[in-house]
Amino acid sequence: MNCSKLLACFLACIPLLVHAQNSGQISGKIVDSVSGKPLSLATVSVFTAADTTLVTYRLSNDGGDFKVTGLPLSKQLRVIVSYSGYAVYRQEFSLTAEKSELNTGTVALVTNANTLDEVLVIAERPPVVVKRDTIEFNASAFKTLPSALVEDLLKKLPGVQLDADVNITVNGKKVNRIMVDGKDFFGGDPKMATRNLPANVIEKIQVVEDKEDAEQNPDKPKSDIGQVINLKLKKDVKKGWFGKAYAGGGTDERYETGGIINTFRDTLQLSLLGFANNLNKAGFGFNDIRSLGGFDRSGINSITSTSGGGLSVNGISFGGIGEGVQTSAGGGFNLNTEFKKNITLNGQYFYGQTRNDITELNSRKQFLGDTILTTTQKREEVQKTFNHRFGMGLKWRIDSLTRLEFRPGLVISDQESNRLTNISTESNKDGLLNQSNNRQQVNGHNVNYNHSLTLNKTFRKKGRSLNVYNYLYNDATGSDQYNNVLNTFYPTGSTTLDQLRDRDLVTTQVTLNTMYYEPISKSLSLRLAYLLNYTVNKDDLSTFNKNGGNGKYDQINPLLTNNIERTNLRNTAAGSLIWKYKALTVTATGNLLWLDLSNKFISAGKEVPMHYTYFLPGLYVNWKIFNVSYDKSITPPSLSDIQPVADNTNPLYINKGNPDLLPAERHNVSFSFFKNIPQQSLLLTGYLNGSFTNNGVIRSRTIDANGIQTTMPVNSDDIYSIYSNLYFNKQFKLNKSFQFTIGAGYNVNYNRNLILINNRKSATTTIDANPYVSGGINWKDKIEWNIAYTRGYNKTRYESNDFTDLDVNRHSLNTDIVLRWPKGIVWESNLNYRYNSQVAPGMPKSVALLGAGVTFLFLKEDKGQLKLSVSDLLNQNTSIFRYAADNYINDRQINVLQRYFMLTFTYNIRSFKGGKVGGSQKTFFFL
């Protein structure tokens, strides 16, 4: 069965499942007893009358109407209608096959000063309560497995979405922080609590607007303000420690091991972690690293992740990043504590190391009129990295109106690489043009320091605030690159290259931003800002030829040696007017930018100063669910693009710089909408963005008769791109046992660019479209099934007949199933199927990656887990990519892990106790 038929069968089953579960229903309308106005978002809960077990629930809509479906027949039930500030309404009823529907008519609620907790017995507490700007979930109403974490609990809450990286949204709004009992938990990182706290210690989940986000961004539309989740622990849970440890071994000498230990005692929070594996994956997920590694508290500057689970944060690899087959290891700690006077301090250290063994085959076909050039490249390489990361964070709430935050970080890393590359180029007309044997060795060292300092001051007058932000960044990178190359050209002969390329790059950046917000009236406010950015880039490049007499690289090559320094000073004065009228917010901005650039070519004794003045307008409109924006930006060329010395380390593909490049001017226009209907668990979002660039950078390319390619950046106008996406998601919770989700959407990229090859210029347009559908089923947490299908289209068209139009089409299907039966045993399987009908000859058109595993749960609260798994059961795993760009189609194949079996034991540490700290309570308990 192909992908589309399988998905069609899944979607066809949904109406049958809905019909099977909809046995009976109750409906009505909820209003205020005095005014008669409908009450929106009132909670309607249905319990069994005998034991007050929750059957299901719904929220009333904007008109106060409600309908609760999927109710059992021939059973005494009780409906509870609750709304904050009103007395509770109760009614018992029973449905039969003959009378399966009940209409309560209009339910008039009477105001009551008591809280819901005071008027409701514990067993009748509603699953969801809306209190003005707070949504409160009763955790006990959402059943989870004994071993479930907060993440599993959140997935069951209406309106709550968790993506693949466990980023959380509630009713479509992003969750910025998670707190526990009103206090930051391990720096407030959402992933820390969701992946580590057990669900059975939570009493309530409260969702409120992030007041800090609102304070720092007074003119931010309310729909864009993030949210905070507060987890209220049960009364007997006040202190504890938790974590996990795992170890596993498998076939082909595969292994994995790791451990995380965390403790929280009042205001002290401490975490330790360590891991090692040769499975091409991170020792921990991104969620664990952000929280347990402390990166979210000490600052994240860069994140790299892969679909296979690899992760790198701030340049430190935690495994699975890079090419080929990887072995990785690391360890570190994080400390987070709160002092008196509202001061919070955290510190962190982490060490990571990786080794990548790479075998690559690359085939590129270039189309030039009736000439086709085929370049084949084979690469064997070993890469090693060693990283140290130090971080700290200081938060100080000076008073109720003033906050100060300081975050410094230091990264020290070393890299080693040994590579052998064999390259050949042939023409469909002239046959073999060249061959190259290139041996390369690189030793590098990097030191990076950065810090941010933020002062936020609000005033007694509502809407008035002052924000001051300072950022310092210093990065020093040194590398020694040795190249020994033998090139053979047909029929002209051969050349050799034996050189050392010694390069030192230093970047220093200082940023100071000051913003002041002043309300002029209830509907109009003013924002004034000054932004200073000063950047110095240094590129000291020296190339040495090998001395035949002593074998040392001590003969300077002046043609490939240059020292360049660039200073970039940006001064911006900005003003904005923000006008609000009911649901409409309009922000008009005007930025005056003074840009001073100075390029010093020290080796040539030449300095080229440049001064530019720009006016950068902006307009932002927010109305209900819609957002429209326009802005203009200026981007100077990169230092590498203006370096006049050629990079000849691959003599068959030479890169040159262009000192005459101008800054790029880009206009950006965007439109988005967001619609969330919590009563129906329905989410719909859309986004459209267009960018139009003048003086954009393209690469001019020449190809000579020997197949040698030389590129150089040049400015070009009329470059634009359009991106659009649409996403739809609907959750169906028919009763407490059964729920399913359906989703659909697309993302489309449309780009217009220019290519310049051998003085042949052509406009080129590329459209890349990826429509997709998805679905999922959950029955009592015993059966979970998820499926997603994506169809990919990539079409490239040229205005000039000198180039050939290109098409790449692809299919992908991802599905996974989990079966928790019998008790204590979990079966799981996942399939990743990819199909491409247009791969290069000799490469497979389809790849099916099938994984499976069985987990045995034992010990108290299922703390012990023994898992037997197999990766790539069909032994088909291949890393093959095809893409089209400029005038070529590129096929790339790289070595990957194939089939192996693994047996892994995991122990989950979760112990929560009350009482005093000290005495018999030690800091750590393990196994």
- As a whole number of angstroms, the distance between CA 556 and CA 542 comes to 7
Q: What are 57-71's pLDDT values in tens digits? A: 888 888 899 988 888
Q: Three-state SS across 550-590?
A: CCCCCEECHHHCEEEEEEEEEEEEEEEEEEEECCEEEEEEE
User: Which of 649, 681, 713 represents a domain boundary (last residue)?
Assistant: 681
Over residues 516-532, the mean pLDDT reads: 94
User: Which of 130, 165, 189 represents a domain boundary (last residue)?
Assistant: 130
According to DSSP H, which parts of 237-350 are helical?
Answer: 286-292, 295-298
pLDDT confidence of residue 305:
41
**Which has more confidence, 232 or 436?**
436
Q: Is the dihedral of CA 692, 697, 703, 704 positive or negative?
A: positive
Q: What are 455-468's pLDDT values in tens digits? A: 999 999 988 999 99
Check pLDDT > 90 for residue 540: yes
Nearest Cα to 485, choosing from 555, 566, 421, 577? 421
Residues 255 and 283: beta-carbon distance below 8 Å: no
Check pLDDT > 90 for residue 546: yes
Mean predicted lDDT score pLDDT of the chain: 84
Residues 542 and 502: beta-carbon distance below 8 Å: yes
SS3 call for 5: helix
Pairing of strands 227-233, 173-180: parallel
pLDDT confidence of residue 771:
96
- As a whole number of angstroms, the distance between CA 333 and CA 924 comes to 14
Residue with tokens 């400015």: 715
16-39 burial: b if 16+ Cβ within 10 Å, else e: eeeeebebbebbbbbbbeeeeebb
**Which has more confidence, 722 or 320?**
722
Instruction: Kindly state whether residue 551 falls inside one of the protein's structural domains.
Output: yes
Nearest Cα to 286, choosing from 167, 444, 177? 167
Residue with tokens 């030793």: 443
Q: What are 25-57's pLDDT values in tens digits? A: 999 999 999 999 999 888 888 888 887 777 888
- As a whole number of angstroms, the distance between CA 641 and CA 534 comes to 20
pLDDT confidence of residue 313:
46
**Which has more confidence, 248 or 155?**
248
Q: In which region does residue 493 sit, left (phi positive, over 0), alpha (psi from -120 to 50) or beta (all else)?
A: left
Residues 286 and 311: beta-carbon distance below 8 Å: yes
Half-sphere exposure of 80 (CA within 13 A, CB side): 27
pLDDT confidence of residue 5:
53
Helices (H) and strands (E) in the chain, counts: 8, 50
Lowest mean pLDDT segment, chosen from 510-514, 733-737, 846-850: 733-737
User: Which of 653, 681, 709 represents a domain boundary (last residue)?
Assistant: 681
Check pLDDT > 50 for residue 921: no
User: Which two three-digit tokens encode residue 792?
Assistant: 């990919």
| Percent of residues, the chain, with pLDDT higher than 90 | 49
Phi and psi torsions of 12, nearest 5°: -70, -25
Q: Could you say which DSSP state residue 923 is in?
A: S
In sequence order, which residues have a C-beta less than 8 Å from that of residue 408 and are 6 or more positions away? 391, 392, 449, 450, 451
- As a whole number of angstroms, the distance between CA 923 and CA 927 comes to 14
pLDDT confidence of residue 407:
92
Q: What are 441-454's pLDDT values in tens digits? A: 999 999 999 999 99
- As a whole number of angstroms, the distance between CA 600 and CA 277 comes to 47
Instruction: Kindly state whether residue 124 falls inside one of the protein's structural domains.
Output: yes
Over residues 261-289, the mean pLDDT reads: 72
Pairing of strands 696-703, 738-757: parallel
Check pLDDT > 90 for residue 689: yes
Check pLDDT > 80 for residue 679: no
pLDDT confidence of residue 217:
63
Q: What are 559-584's pLDDT values in tens digits? A: 999 999 999 999 999 999 999 998 89
- As a whole number of angstroms, the distance between CA 452 and CA 298 comes to 10
Q: How confident is the model at residue 916 (pLDDT cuts 50, 70, 90)?
A: very low
Over residues 896-916, the mean pLDDT reads: 78
Instruction: Kindly state whether residue 410 falls inside one of the protein's structural domains.
Output: no
> Which residues make beta-bridge pairs with 856?
825, 866
Tell me whether the omega of the peptide bond preceding residue 127 falls within 30 degrees of 0, making it cis. Answer: no
In sequence order, which residues have a C-beta less than 8 Å from that of residue 430 and are 6 or more positions away? none
In sequence order, which residues have a C-beta less than 8 Å from that of residue 834 and are 6 or more positions away? 810, 811, 812, 846, 847
User: Which two three-digit tokens encode residue 275?
Assistant: 């891991």
According to DSSP H, which parts of 367-524 are helical?
Answer: none
Q: In which region does residue 460 sit, left (phi positive, over 0), alpha (psi from -120 to 50) or beta (all else)?
A: alpha
Q: What are 610-649's pLDDT values in tens digits? A: 999 999 999 999 998 899 999 999 999 988 899 888 999 9
Phi and psi torsions of 201, nearest 5°: -105, 0
Instruction: Kindly state whether residue 211 falls inside one of the protein's structural domains.
Output: no
Residue 736: count of CB within 10 angstroms of its CB: 18
- As a whole number of angstroms, the distance between CA 354 and CA 349 comes to 17
Q: What are 400-429's pLDDT values in tens digits? A: 899 999 999 999 999 999 999 999 999 999
According to DSSP H, which parts of 22-98 are helical?
Answer: none
User: Which two three-digit tokens encode residue 193?
Assistant: 């609590």
Report the domain count for the chain. 2
In sequence order, which residues have a C-beta less than 8 Å from that of residue 282 and are 6 or more positions away? 275, 289, 309, 310, 311, 318, 319, 320, 321, 328
Instruction: Kindly state whether residue 306 falls inside one of the protein's structural domains.
Output: no
Over residues 745-764, the mean pLDDT reads: 93
pLDDT confidence of residue 221:
60
- As a whole number of angstroms, the distance between CA 230 and CA 228 comes to 6
Instruction: Kindly state whether residue 291 falls inside one of the protein's structural domains.
Output: no
Over residues 230-259, the mean pLDDT reads: 85
Q: Output the domain CATH number for residue 90.
A: 2.60.40.10
Instruction: Kindly state whether residue 45 falls inside one of the protein's structural domains.
Output: yes
Over residues 329-342, the mean pLDDT reads: 84
pLDDT confidence of residue 238:
62
pLDDT confidence of residue 439:
96
Compute CA distances 605 → 561, 564, 608, 642, 798, whole Å: 13, 10, 10, 16, 43
Domain range for 465: 459-484+504-565+572-662+675-681
Residues 179 and 202: beta-carbon distance below 8 Å: no
| Secondary structure element (H or E) that encloses residue 17, with its range | helix 3-21
Q: How confident is the model at residue 340 (pLDDT cuts 50, 70, 90)?
A: confident
Instruction: Kindly state whether residue 273 falls inside one of the protein's structural domains.
Output: no
> Which residues make beta-bridge pairs with 435?
424, 488
pLDDT confidence of residue 117:
55
- As a whole number of angstroms, the distance between CA 278 and CA 259 comes to 16
pLDDT confidence of residue 337:
85
